[in-house]
Structure 1
Amino acid sequence: MSELFDDDPRATPPAPPRQTRRSRALLVTGVILLVMIFSLTGFASLYTDRLWFNSAGFGQVFSTLLWTRIALFLVFGVVFGAVVAANVYVAYRFRPLFRPQSREQTSLDRYREAVTPVRTWLLVAVAVIVGLFAGTSGMSQWRTYLMWRNGSDFGTDDPYFNRDVGFYVFDLPWWHFLTDFVMAVAVVSLIAAAVVHYLFGGIRLQATTDKFSGPAQVQLSVLLGVFVLAKAVDYFLDRFDLVNQQNSLFTGMNYTADNALLPSKNILAVVAIICAVLFFVNVWRRTWQLPTLGLGLLVLSAVLLGMIWPAIVQQFQVKPSEADREEAYIARNIEATRQAYDLQDDVESESYSPESDLDGVAQTGLLGSTSSVPLVDPQLVSSAFENLRQQFGYYSMAPVLDVDRYDVDGRQRAMVLGVRELDTSGLNADAQNWSNLHTVYTHGNGIVAAYANQRDAADAITENTTDTGDSSGRLEWAQGLGTEADLTDELGDYESRVYYGEQSPDYSIVGKTSDDAEDIERNLPVPGSDLGSSTTYGGDGDASVGGTFNQLMFAVKYGEPNFLLSGRVNGSSKVLFERNPADRVEKVAPWLTVDSDIYPAIVDGRILWIVDGYTTSDRFPNSQRESFDTMTTDALQVETGLATLPTDEINYMRNAVKATVDAYTGEVTLYAWEEDDPILQTWMKVFPGSVEPRSAMEDVPGLMEHVRYPEDLFKVQRYQYARYHVENAADWYENNDRWAVPLDPQSSNVFQAPYRLFVGGSEADDFALTSVYVPYGRNNLAAFVSVNSDGTSPDYGTFSVLRLTNATSEAENEQTSGPGQVANEFANDDGINQTLQALRITARVTFGNMLTLPVDDRMMYVQPVYAQSQSASDTSYPVLRYVLIKFGDSVAYGENLPAAIRSLYSGTGTDTGTDPGTDAGTGDTGSGDTGSGDSGSGDSGNGNQGNAGGADTVQGLLDQAATAFEEADDLLASGDLGAYQDKVKEAQDLLGEAADLYEEENPDAAASDDASPSADASPSADANG
């Protein structure tokens, strides 16, 4: 290899002392071992991935990705390294044979003496290093390349360049990468050649004349010409990026970009071409004057045309009349944004004028229409599920449970679901050895379900203190207390073992040597036994670990020698890994973004995890771009630490794929949900056969009944619609009707999470995902928005928006309160405040999700209140104690929702707070009744108006109770907790006596308020999940 360069004709100085043969051998051996270790680790990971993909039925995905990455690495790495090496070789090959003696050249002699003996190895090292960096960069562009090769048309042209949206999404990113690659090659080659020319005398900076040798000038001129020519292409491509630029108002082309930046890009591209021609001409002219002038002109033009001119246009033409100048561009941004986020055709908006009183709303009708409002908060009851249905310490539930709907006796019922998953941290320390963790405790078992509205299978409130000791706070399990039958009878038996779940361990080894061998995997106990039974996995699994080579590969992958040493690993063993359902979907479809909330469903006798997958882009012309993090982070994710979507910015999103993952076999199936999505069509060309058509999903018995509208997509659309419900450009600019997602009342500076309701008011209510808006910068309610979430409905994905007509009213008493304002009303209600204050003495009080729903031409707010022992014990869990409601302008509470509603009605009437029997007066907050109805337990409540029908003794009892509460407050302030509790108990007893007396004297009071209910929509709520 030493003959690669010509030898220097001048005498070569003595070489430096060489290393000894032993030291060189040790060094070479160490490098080889290091390379072998890294290579073996990488190969083991690649080999086991291949086994996984093949077992999952997605071998083509693995091979396509592998060979694409290898090809890109080799092409871009070899090209980059070869071009740089060729330029270094040319610079050395044409170095001056004779150098004039000067101080500069003398100082460079020692560097030449050091480089010359190793020049060949140095050249190879430079080529390899830059090639590795370039190859890695090229390999990372596999998505860009595959989308360019297989791109589809959107069928929509942008309004400025009349190019299909597919050009911006699929083609433009690849052309940008190639242009950047050429410029990078030119720059690195230019630097490398310049260094060699300078080192060997081709460039003499201190010389008065002939600073560049002829070969140096030719080579550098060509490289500079190539760079500037590539820059001209870059300017040309930058023109198209203007439709995706972020400006101060919106994303997309604006007045300044259209009238200043776009012409400047055209001019700069022409100037760059002229400058490149001057550099190429310099190969023959051998003078730097013209190229230098051309380069200076390019730099000056870039400053004047690319920076100063647009700033002048923005300052002196746009700002004085920005609304008029930007109106047409805002209109295009609105249209593109609504199209990109699918907010155009399937949005139905109507005006809504909520009333504030209870006139015309029958109590019985309200009790019926709100019977399904969720009181079981999935965010809070996980510990209750674990304590009451965990079975063993090595099982656990997810921190936030899921919500789905099931048919019970011909009626859709929402259920809060928890998968009983394996949690090996619950094992005793002495049981946490490798054999137990990876071969014995391998799976979870079953789904635990409770009715979201805390009513039984007959949809009635029952009295049962088995679980919690509190009739109002008990959970209504979907079926009995059996361990193998936790869901409804209608579902029948199902495969309950869960080998793939959100909390499954990294890997488990399953299988036994023969059918006669003993089962060792721990399972739930058989009926009549308290001890766990044993089982053996019988599914297809992920990969066989049989054979010494496979065992070696897995041992290297996990750094675990027991794969080779343990007798539990045999020829029939399988390794289950990549067990999180979301991770499995992302692995077989790396082009998808997976929803943060996957959920289980029992379908056709199996537990399936349903995973929503999104296709996204940040290149949709003129559509508003925002980050996932900003649009999707809410109180649920902040408080629980749930994973969110990536922080990448997007301006296009579709729920293109719905996937299922079998909890027992791990089988992943991808279904094309939005088959007309061009991005999905592109990836289906890349990986043919990997995505099933939508019709295949509809053919799976029972699957469509469990399809829901995905939460992360709804959050993104909710965020964008807050501003883009305004279709008039002038109103959009002035923010006249801009909305905002309200902040969660119980959290700080995070959005309120969406929730699911049955909306419609008919016999077949629509299962919907819902949220509310407040006016931007204000706290009152502006709108209620819902999207049909029933996969079997032809209206699936249709948005319904109720725009409150009083949202912009200047009079506060004419507005409808928003969630934050209602939370403040609850906190300042005397009855609620005193009751919860007493509860906080012995328990921790937690507020559940505040629900907002339109009922009978009014807005209702419902918020469950949970209490939990102040003990830090693992056996402590939250129990529902009270339900707070606001309906119209009335506030009440009770031990359950019917109790709160009856309390609401017990305070209505013509009286406004004067002594009983009078007809007028000033309103005072009074306590409500206790009663039994609707199969409910006794309840207490608080109305926002006085009791109108009681005798003087009722008012006297109420006054005594108020006095007792005041005295209790004084005792609490003095620190006498014992006396405080006694006084609160006394006050509560007085309230009970007052309620009983009122019922005795007014047996028909509640019935007298009943009237025909309004024929408006009467949604009934189900839990968020």
Structure 2
Amino acid sequence: MPDFIDSTDYLNPKRPSRRGRFLVIAALLFVAFIVARIVLSDWVDLLWFKSLGYGDVFWKTFAIESSVFLLSAAITFFVLYGAFFLIRRSHHADLPTNHAIVVGGQRVSLSVAPALRVISLVVSIAVALITGLTMMSDWPTLALFWYAPHAAGSVTDPIFSRPLNFFLFTLPAWRMIDGWLLTLAIATCAVAVLFLVITSGSRSLDTRRLSLAPSPWRGLSCTAAFFFLVLAMTVFVERFELLLNHHTLFDGINYTDAHITAGGLLFVAGALVLGAMIAAVNAMRESRVAVIVISVLPAVLCYGVLTVIGWYVANFVVKPNQLVREEPYITHNIEMTRQAYGLDHFSQSEFPAEATLEAADASHNQPTLQNIRLWDWRALQDTLRQVQEIRTYYDFPDIDIDRYVLNGKLSEEMLAVRELNVEKLPVSSRNWINEKLIYTHGYGITMNPVNGFTPEGLPNLLLSNMPVQSTVPGLKVTRPELYFGELTNTDVYVKTRQQEFDYPQGQANNLTSYQGTGGVALGGFARRLIIAFDRGDLGTLPFSDDVTPESRLLMHRNIRDRIALLAPFLTFDQDPYMVVGDDGRLSWIIDGYTTSDSYPYSTHYSLGGDSVNYMRNSVKVVIDAYNGTTTFYVFDTKDPVLDAYRRIYPTLFTDAAKMPADLRRHARYPEGLFSLQADVYGLYHMTRPEVFFNREDLWTVATETASDANGQQSVQPMQPNYVVMKLPGGTQEEFVQILPFTPANRNNLIGWIAGRSDGEAYGTTAVYNFPKTRLIDGPQQIEARIDQNAQLSGQLTLWNQQGSHVLRGSLLVIPTGRALLYAEPIYLQAQQSPMPELRLVVLALQDKLAYGTTFQAALTALFGGEASSLTASETAQPAQSSAGASPMMLPQANQLSSQLPAELKALIADANRNFEDYQRLTAAGKLAEAGQKLEALKSDLARLDSAKR
């Protein structure tokens, strides 16, 4: 053995002691730093909650989280450390001790027992902390169990007769606690096996044989008894989860589970309890491995018998008579799924979907016709980014659709907020002062009618520019600054000595200072230091001369992050929308949902990556874009999940009746809920079990042909559309969300649903069924009719070959009178210009298709009997495409030819003849000859261009 190791290193007690003290002090300092970091972060969060008036919400959440953490961590530690201690005591005589090795000529004794004590302590603490954090992250489950009322309600499950609250609140908590205990049971068994291996190895070293004496199995017997008891609890809870199982045809319990599995699992649980008793007796007497094996047998035998019986019943009793056997359980699934998603409140009516012009009743549906949305939101977003961003650091992240009463009429408008994106600031401007003190907010909003176009093909803006300008009396914006939005992802400091950039104005910039009440006051140096440490701004904030004690920190400014921190137990819609109040202030509205995955018998669907089988739009959150004030308004007082949360946080929620009237008028049926309900309704509109079983009347959301930014077309499901329309049988127009359906694997329409948003009808849904005795064209069939129209097809092909590409907007299917009106805008976008222009509007009824360069021209062609035309009229001339001169400009040129020289007149006349021939030949399907005329037309246009120069 080498002699370079000094034996005094092992014999001198001082050096290990100093090393040990150093390690202990370092560990304590590290723990103290982590604790201090958490405490300071929580303190800053508390300041933020208090600034919003929700200090008690913070303390209640903190109390629940800390209680769950401490209780679960403490129990986990004592169970694991106790298991280590008791098992170590039971194996004390067999632990390897006083084994000596020679190091540097010195004899050194090694003992496993002290090392095991340290390992057991460290492992128990680590597992306890991890378990505590895991349980704490799921605190809403335990909070709902503790605070929710557990009295029987009006809804009970048909198998176990348990109330709805049991499945929504009790069962999830049981599952969570059961999973925790099962982890502890497995961990204690692992400890017992570890000691068994160590002691058996020690004895084999001493006796040269593996000792299987009775005493080593006592610890394993105890932990096995604990494991069997927890497993019995797991099996017992699993009985209730049978109502949540997924089967091929439906979700919930089926015939085999109801008659065999549910009762059989009780026998399995009883067998596990019996096995736990056998293992416990084995631990108290002379422990033998054979007894542990015997303790497992009752449960294995019961489970095996249950599996065989279940297999026999499923294959030889149910399968030959599946519909008869499963019918009552299918009925339960249909009823409970419809309740869980609110489909049981859908009203149903018949819609004739007639094909005549008279059925469309245009004269009595003018408000509906004048609010048909021709601006596709993608096209509008691209256009606004070109004409209204003003500076590169502004952006329009989304387009919202809402209704406003302007000039005494209800009209549908499209709104976009101009947010500041600090990522787009010039690199030379990316410094602390600019990002934190000067560039603090976005500015302004645009608003335009859904079908309003200028003669240049741009949106007819009612609100625009900086400062905000309005073209409508009574429509105003008094607070255009946006300190809180969808792109506000950074902290800023306001009310500083540094003035903030408001908006560009000529060669100078307009500056402002924050006048609101939002944010956390920075206060003195010590408070500022703590805030800077928490926000990662320690090197700058405490030493800035621009920051004063009255300055305020605006944090958590992204509206999605903001509400998620205040109410992490809610699920929020992905489409927040902006509202201009009567007082001119800007406010965000976001729909909040309560969800569950344990509604009995209900089918699970995916929502944002999570599996849910219950959903309610119970809350609408309003966020002031200037102050950041956040208010949660309750819109569904009958939701049991929200009722439980209101018991936990009585001050977080406000009754909907207290919502300001100007904001309440803009509450709408949320898109997220409507889309999920549409998916569910496609299957669960079938309420008869035999129809459901055979899937005879399965519906799917209709599909349409859509264009991406490059003009590439693809087929995709239609998105819900907000429209202003008069529902069949209604007396006035209202704001609704509609979506058409087709039969599965078919293109013809079968029905449509409408989610209502106005007045007393808010939150209700109407379903309209089309006649099944005749074919009703679906969106894909209308798209095919557009493509098959020779003149339209030729023109679209021409546009796609002239350095530009065609963008087809969303095809709208709008019930009008007793008919269906189809509308699709078609845009032209030049390759060198990112701004699309509206060039055609296509309208169609069941038996007629019309088009024009403007909506009025297409409407006149459809209802007025005039011929459809690809040329612009004198009164509504579309914008010239940047791709080059368009044939649609020739009629106007003809009107001006009388003022031109004779040579130019002849060229214009020749160009007109070639264009007319091109249209005639295209309509006749003679594309080869039409191509020749097109080439002649191009030659005429080139000669005209040369003559002009």
User: What are the residue-to-residue correspondences of 1:738-777 with 2, within 5 Å?
Assistant: 738-746=698-706, 748=714, 750-760=716-726, 764-777=732-745
Q: 1:253 to 1:984 in 2, by over 3 A?
A: farther
Q: 1:479 to 1:570 in 2, by over 3 A?
A: closer
Q: String of CA shifts for 1:341-389, please: whole Å, max 9, x gaps.
A: 11112x2212223233446667766766512101122232113223222
Q: 1:379 to 1:677 in 2, by over 3 A?
A: same
* 2:490 aligned partner, one-letter code: D
1:783–1:804 CA contact under 8 A, matched in 2 = yes
* Counterpart in the other structure of 2:467: 483
Q: 1:172 Cα deviation (Å)? A: 1.1
Q: Which secondary structure state, in structure 2, belongs to the residue aligned with residue 491 of structure 1?
A: coil
2:361–2:817 CA contact under 8 A, matched in 1 = no
User: What are the residue-to-residue correspondences of 1:99-248 with 2, within 5 Å?
Assistant: 113=110, 115-152=112-149, 154-201=153-200, 211-214=212-215, 216-248=216-248
* 2:300 aligned partner, one-letter code: V
* Counterpart in the other structure of 1:857: 818
* Counterpart in the other structure of 1:48: 44
User: What are the residue-to-residue correspondences of 1:506-655 with 2, within 5 Å?
Assistant: 506-512=490-496, 520-524=499-503, 531-560=508-537, 561-605=539-583, 606-628=585-607, 646-655=608-617
Q: 1:851 Cα deviation (Å)? A: 0.5
* Counterpart in the other structure of 1:846: 807
* Counterpart in the other structure of 1:385: 384
Structure with more contact order per residue of length (Cα contacts < 8 Å, sep ≥ 6): 1
- 1:410 maps onto 2:446 in alignment: no
Q: 1:977 to 1:928 in 2, by over 3 A?
A: closer
1:268–1:298 CA contact under 8 A, matched in 2 = yes
In 1, Cα distance between equivalents of 2:15 and 2:936: 89
2:95–2:202 CA contact under 8 A, matched in 1 = no
Which runs of 5 or more structure 1 residues have no equivalent in the other structure? 1-12, 104-109, 456-463, 514-518, 629-645, 909-925, 943-953, 987-1025
* Counterpart in the other structure of 2:852: 894
Q: String of CA shifts for 1:133-173, please: whole Å, max 9, x gaps.
A: 22122212311110000113553111111111100110111
Q: 1:670 to 1:819 in 2, by over 3 A?
A: same
Q: 1:35 to 1:877 in 2, by over 3 A?
A: farther
Q: 1:18 to 1:723 in 2, by over 3 A?
A: farther
Q: String of CA shifts for 1:966-996, please: whole Å, max 9, x gaps.
A: 999659999x99767458999xxxxxxxxxx
In 1, Cα distance between equivalents of 2:169 and 2:131: 22
* Counterpart in the other structure of 2:642: 680
Q: 1:255 Cα deviation (Å)? A: 1.1
> Of 61, 70, 76, which residue of structure 2 is paired with 1:74?
70
1:202–1:213 CA contact under 8 A, matched in 2 = no
* 1:135 aligned partner, one-letter code: G
User: What are the residue-to-residue correspondences of 1:141-540 with 2, within 5 Å?
Assistant: 141-152=138-149, 154-201=153-200, 211-214=212-215, 216-286=216-286, 287-305=288-306, 307-345=307-345, 347-358=346-357, 369-398=368-397, 400-454=398-452, 464-465=454-455, 470=456, 473-479=457-463, 483-486=467-470, 488-512=472-496, 520-524=499-503, 531-540=508-517
Q: Which secondary structure state, in structure 1, belongs to the residue aligned with residue 638 of structure 2?
A: coil
Q: 1:204 to 1:681 in 2, by over 3 A?
A: farther
1:449–1:486 CA contact under 8 A, matched in 2 = no
Q: 1:258 Cα deviation (Å)? A: 0.8
2:489–2:556 CA contact under 8 A, matched in 1 = no
User: What are the residue-to-residue correspondences of 1:910-989 with 2, within 5 Å?
Assistant: 928=869, 936-937=876-877, 961-963=919-921, 981=938
- 1:720 maps onto 2:720 in alignment: no
2:632–2:654 CA contact under 8 A, matched in 1 = yes
Q: 1:266 to 1:535 in 2, by over 3 A?
A: same
In 2, Cα distance between equivalents of 1:863 and 1:492: 32
In 2, Cα distance between equivalents of 1:485 and 1:773: 42
In 1, Cα distance between equivalents of 2:373 and 2:337: 34
* 1:681 aligned partner, one-letter code: D
1:340–1:652 CA contact under 8 A, matched in 2 = yes
> Of 685, 689, 696, which residue of structure 2 is paired with 1:736?
696
- 1:657 maps onto 2:594 in alignment: no
Q: 1:960 to 1:615 in 2, by over 3 A?
A: closer
Q: Which secondary structure state, in structure 2, belongs to the residue aligned with residue 794 of structure 1?
A: helix
1:500–1:579 CA contact under 8 A, matched in 2 = yes
In 2, Cα distance between equivalents of 1:352 and 1:112: 93
Q: Which secondary structure state, in structure 2, belongs to the residue aligned with residue 768 of structure 1?
A: strand
- 1:702 maps onto 2:700 in alignment: no
Q: 1:86 to 1:881 in 2, by over 3 A?
A: same
2:360–2:818 CA contact under 8 A, matched in 1 = no
Percent identical pairs in the alignment equals 27
Q: 1:616 Cα deviation (Å)? A: 0.4
* Counterpart in the other structure of 2:891: none
Q: 1:726 Cα deviation (Å)? A: 1.1
Q: 1:956 to 1:543 in 2, by over 3 A?
A: closer
Q: Which secondary structure state, in structure 2, belongs to the residue aligned with residue 506 of structure 1?
A: coil
Q: Which secondary structure state, in structure 1, belongs to the residue aligned with residue 246 of structure 2?
A: coil
* 2:482 aligned partner, one-letter code: V
In 2, Cα distance between equivalents of 1:28 and 1:355: 85
In 2, Cα distance between equivalents of 1:184 and 1:547: 49
In 1, Cα distance between equivalents of 2:782 and 2:756: 26
Q: 1:293 Cα deviation (Å)? A: 2.4
1:964–1:983 CA contact under 8 A, matched in 2 = no
Q: 1:397 Cα deviation (Å)? A: 1.0
Q: Which secondary structure state, in structure 2, belongs to the residue aligned with residue 880 of structure 1?
A: strand
Q: 1:743 Cα deviation (Å)? A: 3.1
Point out the more displaced range, 368-377 or 703-712: 368-377
TM-score by length of 1: 0.80
* Counterpart in the other structure of 2:756: 788
Which runs of 5 or more structure 2 residues have no equivalent in the other structure? 1-8, 100-106, 707-712, 880-885, 889-911, 944-949
Please tell me the root mean square deviation across aligned C-alpha atoms, in Å.
3.6
Q: Which secondary structure state, in structure 2, belongs to the residue aligned with residue 570 of structure 1?
A: coil
2:368–2:725 CA contact under 8 A, matched in 1 = no
Q: Which secondary structure state, in structure 2, belongs to the residue aligned with residue 200 of structure 1?
A: helix
In 2, Cα distance between equivalents of 1:480 and 1:97: 86
1:904–1:941 CA contact under 8 A, matched in 2 = no
Q: 1:866 to 1:250 in 2, by over 3 A?
A: same
* Counterpart in the other structure of 1:992: none
* 1:589 aligned partner, one-letter code: A
Q: 1:593 Cα deviation (Å)? A: 0.5
Q: 1:897 to 1:231 in 2, by over 3 A?
A: same
Q: Which secondary structure state, in structure 1, belongs to the residue aligned with residue 644 of structure 2?
A: helix
In 2, Cα distance between equivalents of 1:288 and 1:363: 88
2:189–2:227 CA contact under 8 A, matched in 1 = no
* Counterpart in the other structure of 1:669: 631
1:904–1:928 CA contact under 8 A, matched in 2 = no
In 2, Cα distance between equivalents of 1:955 and 1:429: 56
Q: 1:487 Cα deviation (Å)? A: 6.9
- 1:866 maps onto 2:834 in alignment: no
Q: 1:962 Cα deviation (Å)? A: 3.2
2:828–2:837 CA contact under 8 A, matched in 1 = yes
2:621–2:631 CA contact under 8 A, matched in 1 = yes
Point out the more displaced range, 358-367 or 615-624: 358-367
